[in-house]
Amino acid sequence: MLLAARTLVWVSLMAMTTSAALAGERKDIPDKYKWNLGDLFPTEAAWTKGKDAFAARLPELAKHKGRLGKGPDEVLATLRLMFDLDLELSRLSVYAASLSDEDVRAARPREMKQSAEELATAFSAATSWVRPELLTVDPAKVRKWIAGTPKLAPYRMYLEETLRRKPHTLSAAEEHVAAEAGELERAGGEVHGVLSNADLPYPTVKLSTGESVRLDPQAYSLHRQDRARADRDKVFSAFFGSLATYERTMGATLAAAVKAHLFDKRIRHFDSALDAALFQDNIPPAVYKQLLADVHRSLPTLHRYLALRKRMLGVDTLRYQDLYVPLVSSVDLHFAPDEARTITLDALAPLGKDYTEALRKGFDSRWTDYLPTTGKRSGAYSTGVYGVHPYQLLNFNGRYEDLTTLAHESGHSMHTFLSHGAQPYPTADYPIFVAEVASTFNENLLIHYMLDRAKDDATKLFLLGTLLDGLRTTLFRQTQFAEFELAFHEQAERGEPLTGENLSKLYLKIARDYYGHDKKVCQVEDLLAVEWAYVPHFYYDFYVYQYATSMVASTSLARAVREEAKTGKTARRDAYLKMLSSGSSKYAIDLLKDAGVDMTTSAPFDAAIAEMNATMDEMDRILDRQAKPAPKR
Ligand SMILES: [Zn+2]
């Protein structure tokens, strides 16, 4: 996205499922474990002054309206002002949101966050005329202006991107109606959100530990990992049983969202809902379809994984209910924050000294808010402001997954740092399609670093299992979602009705196919049919596939950089670092191509599957060794 309400925040997928943290009081935490928001505004009073100044400048934009056709100087003046204000808005928003996240209960920061959000709405209204007005100018003329005006260079992508949208942009009056309809289009997702977050009467079950648990989606994702099989069965039946009673309602909310996607597709003249969604970031729809085909071709690798899981759990029949229990539970790694910092820096050494030194400086100058404190927002994310520096929020509890989260968020932060350092503001933010590459790349380096240093088989199995589970849930599960999402959109495009019942039928068929139910690899019970009903991502309009493509790209890239590091060469690393410095100066597919992965081919996918198989080879070797009886004396 080249211009959106600016606060780009990369929320960690993994951290969303972490359990409640052990919280202390913020005032008792040493400064070195807290981020320094003073780099954005020295005081709250300075923020208020900045906010008033922004509000006062906003009306200046209207003075440029109706003048863009006059020539490149007018275009330049307008875009300069717009991006200036945009940057100021990002500083105001990040400060207010971050301050509020330190303690979500505090009233004043919450008010500040709200007024920043209001400013963002006002800004987007005040700039909504710019693109439509640019499109009234002959594209050849605009391109001539770009070529002949060196000062327009930073805005070239913005202008090209505007022209690219021309065939799918409507008349001013139609755009106005479309914007009004946009309000209605969110209804399906909103009703689903209220139902699933608040109103659905989730069941309460008593576990073998004696604990009573109300199974909302968070509790379900925690307890599907329970060691006791009977508990997992109970949790599975109760959770999906209760969802199933709302199958019809959930079907209606999803059908409403799909109708909205089809409405957009029709009025903007796209051939399919998929084309319309992928057009936004200029991703060729072939990339999506190829991911599905690649995963299908690789289902034997998933089935090999399931057989390995069956062996490690020691069960007669593997069932879907057995997929989330950790493969190794005897290993409990713990890290202090300083230790995690040192490990992260060491693990990222294959990226070179410039990268690790910049990150070390970032750690030393308080980019990171490490520890859980009372009232602090849960989870983890990375954000940042151009001209200042990245910020990352963690809830670090010392577990291995917290170490992983530090490496992950540091990947986002360094991507921000490098792109902001190398790009002019209009192209400094990177596209969503590449964002999760930088973060999962670092996770990959970390786990291989840890593996190289693991001393005993149990720790090795734990780490290999973690690597493997990450590949399973991201490559296969997210693609399974992507396949379902495409299938129900196509069903609607053919004019077939979308009901809860037929969505469940479709979902179960795909899930059984993936998990090899008919081949007796993993048993998938009828009740799983309704799993789609609690996944909010199906309302995001073809979003989830990017989790899989990012993992494919990062696994393939990290493998190449690790291999290369052994030879002392740096070509692959340098190409990757160049991508991290390129922001959105090119489209995502081209950025990745320059870094050495062509997402329009199967090569990166095959490299990721090779990594998955290599991981399983290693685990098999350890398990075989352990299974051998000790030699007799
Ligand atoms: Zn992330």
Tell me the CA–centroid distance for residue 9 and ligand 1, in Å.
9
Residues 478-504, mean pLDDT to the nearest whole number: 97
Distance CA 294, CA 309 (A): 23
Residue 186 C-alpha to ligand 1 middle, in angstroms?
A: 25
Cα distances from 264 to residues 268, 281, 369, 541, in angstroms, run 6, 16, 41, 11
> Ligand 1 mean position to 423 CA, how many Å?
21
- Interval 190-206: pLDDT, tens: 899 889 888 899 999 99
Distance 13 CA to ligand 1 centre (A): 6
Distance from the alpha carbon of residue 132 to the mean position of ligand 1, in angstroms: 33
Instruction: Tell how far the Cα of 83 is from the centroid of ligand 1, in angstroms.
Output: 26
The per-residue pLDDT for 92 is 98
Confidence band (pLDDT; 50, 70, 90) for 257?
very high
| Contact present, 306 and 324 (Cβ < 8 Å) | no
Mean pLDDT, range 202-231, rounded to an integer = 93
d(CA 57, ligand 1 centre) in Å: 34
Rounded Cα gap, residues 515 and 497, in angstroms: 27
Q: With pLDDT > 70 as the criterion, what percentage of the chain qualifies?
A: 96
Q: Given this model, what pLDDT does residue 270 score? A: 97
Geometric angle at alpha carbon 381, from 287 and 469, rounded to 5°: 55
Cα dist. 68→61, 83, 130, 140, 607 in Å? 12, 16, 8, 15, 48
Cα 616 to Cα 127: distance, rounded to the nearest angstrom? 53
Compute the distance from residue 225 Cα to the ligand 1 centre, in Å: 22
pLDDT in tens, 544-585: 999 999 999 999 999 999 999 999 999 999 999 999 999 999
Expressed in angstroms and rounded, the spacing between residue 238 Cα and the centre of ligand 1 is 31
Q: How confident is the model at residue 179 (pLDDT cuts 50, 70, 90)?
A: confident
Burial 498-515 (b: 16+ CB within 10 A, else e): bebeebbebbbeebbbbb
Mean pLDDT of the chain, nearest integer: 92
Counts of helices then strands in the chain (DSSP H, E): 25, 6
> Mean pLDDT, to the nearest integer, of 321-328?
93
pLDDT classification of 150: cutoffs 50, 70, 90: very high
Q: Which residues are catalytic?
A: 409
CA of 269 from ligand 1 middle (Å) equals 33
Instruction: Give how far Cα 430 sits from Cα of 406, 540, 549, Å.
Output: 20, 19, 16
pLDDT at 13: 39
- What is the per-residue pLDDT for 370? 96
Helices (H), 58-186: 72-102, 107-127, 130-135, 139-148, 156-164, 172-185
Look at residue 15 in the predicted model and tell me its pLDDT.
Answer: 37
Question: CA separation (Å) from 10 to 37, 170, 332, 384, 432?
Answer: 18, 32, 28, 10, 9
DSSP assigned state of 186: T
Q: Looking at residue 258, what is its pLDDT? A: 97
What per-residue confidence (pLDDT) applies to 633? 56
Q: In the beta sheet, which residues pair with residue 373?
A: 24
Which helix (DSSP H) or strand (DSSP E) does residue 484 occupy? Answer: helix 478-493
Check whether 620 has a pLDDT greater than 60: yes
pLDDT exceeds cutoff 60 at 490 = yes
**pLDDT mean over 267-285:** 95
- How many angstroms separate the alpha carbon of residue 391 from the centre of ligand 1? 13
pLDDT-derived band at 631, boundaries 50, 70, 90: low
Q: Which two tokens stand for residue 528?
A: 């799983």
CA of 440 to the centre of ligand 1 (A): 7
What CA–CA distance (Å, rounded) separates 236 from 530? Answer: 12
Cα of 409 vs centre of ligand 1, distance in Å, is 6
pLDDT the model gives residue 338: 96
Q: Kindly indicate the confidence band of residue 378, based on its pLDDT and cuts at 50, 70 and 90.
A: confident
Q: Which residue has the higher pLDDT, 66 or 183?
A: 66
- Average pLDDT, stretch 416-423? 98
Q: Virtual CA dihedral for 169, 172, 173, 176, nearest 10 degrees?
A: 80
pLDDT digits (tens, 9 = 90+) for 1-43: 222 333 344 444 333 334 444 578 999 999 999 999 999 999 9
Amino acid 153 reads: A
Q: Which pair of structure tokens corresponds to residue 229?
A: 């099989």
Find the mean pLDDT for residues 361-366: 97
Q: What is the pLDDT of residue 121?
A: 87
Most confident of 18-27, 93-102, 372-381, 623-632: 93-102
Predicted local distance difference test score (pLDDT) of residue 332? 84
Which tokens hold the place of 228?
């006791």
Q: How far apart are CA 192 and CA 243, in angstroms?
A: 12
Nearest to 272 by CA among 284, 257, 261: 261
Distances (CA, A) of 518 to 303, 515, 523, 524, 527: 12, 9, 8, 9, 16
The answer to whether the beta carbons of residues 169 and 230 sit under 8 Å apart is no
So what's the pLDDT on residue 408?
95
Question: In the predicted model, what is the mean pLDDT of residues 331-340?
Answer: 93
Nearest one of 308, 290, 240, 289 to 472, comparing CA atoms: 308
What number is the average pLDDT over the span 235-258? 96
Cα dihedral 345, 619, 305, 535 in deg (nearest 10): -30
Say if CB 525 and CB 459 are below 8 A apart. Answer: no
pLDDT given for residue 22 in this prediction: 59
- Is the pLDDT at 341 greater than 70, yes or no? yes
Q: What percent of the chain has pLDDT over 90?
A: 85
Lowest average pLDDT, out of 169-178, 235-244, 395-404, 592-601, goes to: 169-178
How many whole angstroms from 133 Cα to the centroid of ligand 1? 36
Contact 599, 287 (CB under 8 A): yes
Say if CB 609 and CB 479 are below 8 A apart.
no
Neighbours of 584 (CB within 10 A): 22
Strands 368-369 and 381-384: unpaired
Decide: 471 and 555 in contact? Cβ < 8 Å: yes
